[in-house]
Amino acid sequence: MTHLIAIGGSDAGISAALRARELDPTVDVTVVVADRYPNYSICGIPYYFSGDVQPWQSLAHRTTAELEATGMRMRLDTWATDIDVAGQKLAVRGPDGTVEQLAYNELIVGAGALPSRAGIDGLDALGPDDGVHVIHSMGDTFALDAHLAERDPKTAIIVGAGYVGLEMAEAFTARGIRVTQLQRGPEVLSTLDPELGAIVHAELDQHGIEVVVNTTVKAIEKTQDGLIVRGVHEDAPLARLADLVLVVVGVRPNTELLERAGATLGAGGAVLVDEHMRTGLPHVYSAGDGTVTHHRLLGVTYLPLGTTAHKQGRVAGENALGGNAKFAGSVGTQVVKVFDVVAARTGLRHHEARTAGYSPWTVDASADDHKRYYPGSHPILFNITGDTRDGRLLGAQLIGTLGTEVAKRVDTYATALYAGLTVEQISELDLAYTPPLGSPWDAVQAATQAWSLSQRTAVRA
């Protein structure tokens, strides 16, 4: 009987185990999980703190009992410590400290990523007991939850204004905490062009959040008066005091286990794999946030996303049983809700496309989410990037109010990118229309038509 071991209880590890059991109900599957919370939605944590999701157990995609009912064996509170590649054995340390060797035929590593420390002095010495938090696991969630309940902080500094930072700013505000958000770049949500990020910034302002951009945080100190965050804001020293500090400045791939076993690292310091998720080590696969991403426009890069981890895990689970599945590639589709604004992107921004060797042309456009004569229409703003050489769509960014279906509209562009459509071909798509929900030319098509018109005008000029 084949014995498959999957390391990691989040997206990649669980997806791999489920796929293997789905394809072959006789395969022996063990999942090694470093905590007691397999298959929890880390992406849902901000909504637990906002009060939209209760209780915390609701964040579980499946309970441990439901996972075990599929036939997999769960090893909780168990750390994978070493891989014996030649002997096909995995060393694990159980909750009582006992170390044992688990034999495997195939091994899938979904060890994920770790919170970035961003070189901030004091961050390694200070922790939840001091009021300094990260938010990357259920353990982090419980620590922050306890802090909020026991100490009732009135002020918080969030270092970072990416997706999670923005969601947590909204969550803290919903709990009556006064938030200051510090962002390194020139605008919040640096995955968007600054003029679109500025709209998110304005939404934060309207809800009483103080946003300080162009700020590099250097250190966090604990004092009798609270926590002081020190840094540099536009070449001037900055010091801010708060009851609580949350650091959300991205992640770094967790590669230690595979690196010690001899795996090669690639883009972003993540584990290098082929499109089949093979590491190059015999019978060892890697998937998820610790693994490189095959991007349909960029080639091999590092872009950790939950959607990607699910797909990579599924591919690894199938191939570990002798399949020939391939990860079809990411285009970096992302979306975030910040109060009443929704922002999304897919593909490449102008500067990213230029760096990658394309010949980009980017146009901004605006189109109503549905027919203006039907009450409640709102504009959606677009930045469309295409290649001037062959007209191929390279990327799209869009932002609108909640209810304008920004998330589903970015999916149309993501589908077009997957299929390699030109910008003009998007107008040929047969999209749904009814006046309360859209227009005969949907907003996504109106935006790409603006790109085509601008490009033709520029060529004539």
Whole-angstrom distance, CA of residue 166 vs CA of residue 268: 24
Based on the fold, state whether residues 446 and 395 are members of the same structural domain.
yes
pLDDT one-digit tens code per residue, 235-272: 899 999 999 999 999 999 999 999 999 999 999 999 99
Based on the fold, state whether residues 430 and 414 are members of the same structural domain.
yes
Based on the fold, state whether residues 145 and 227 are members of the same structural domain.
yes
**Which SS3 state, helix, strand or coil, does residue 216 take?**
strand
pLDDT at 154 over 80: yes
Mean pLDDT of 76-99: 97
Using the 3D structure, point to which of 263, 288, 319 is the last residue of a domain.
Answer: 319
pTM for this prediction = 0.94
Indicate whether 73 belongs to any domain: yes
Indicate whether 51 belongs to any domain: no
Indicate whether 243 belongs to any domain: yes
Based on the fold, state whether residues 7 and 25 are members of the same structural domain.
yes
Using the 3D structure, point to which of 249, 273, 292 is the last residue of a domain.
Answer: 249
Mean pLDDT of 176-188: 97
Based on the fold, state whether residues 451 and 354 are members of the same structural domain.
yes
Domain of 418, in residue numbers = 341-460
Domain tally, the chain: 3
> Looking up tokens 């969630």, which residue turns up?
141
Indicate whether 208 belongs to any domain: yes
Domain of residue 172, CATH code: 3.50.50.60
pLDDT one-digit tens code per residue, 290-320: 999 999 999 999 999 999 999 999 999 999 9
Indicate whether 165 belongs to any domain: yes
pLDDT at 117 over 90: no
Based on the fold, state whether residues 141 and 103 are members of the same structural domain.
no
288: phi then psi, degrees, rounded to nearest 5? 95, -160
Whole-angstrom distance, CA of residue 345 vs CA of residue 291: 22
Based on the fold, state whether residues 265 and 355 are members of the same structural domain.
no
pLDDT at 118 over 90: no
Mean pLDDT of 152-177: 97
Read off the pLDDT band of 460 (50, 70, 90). Answer: low
Domain of residue 450, CATH code: 3.30.390.30
Based on the fold, state whether residues 180 and 200 are members of the same structural domain.
yes
Based on the fold, state whether residues 79 and 171 are members of the same structural domain.
no
Instruction: Please name which of 266, 303, 276, 267 lies closest in space to residue 288, comparing C-alpha atoms.
Output: 303
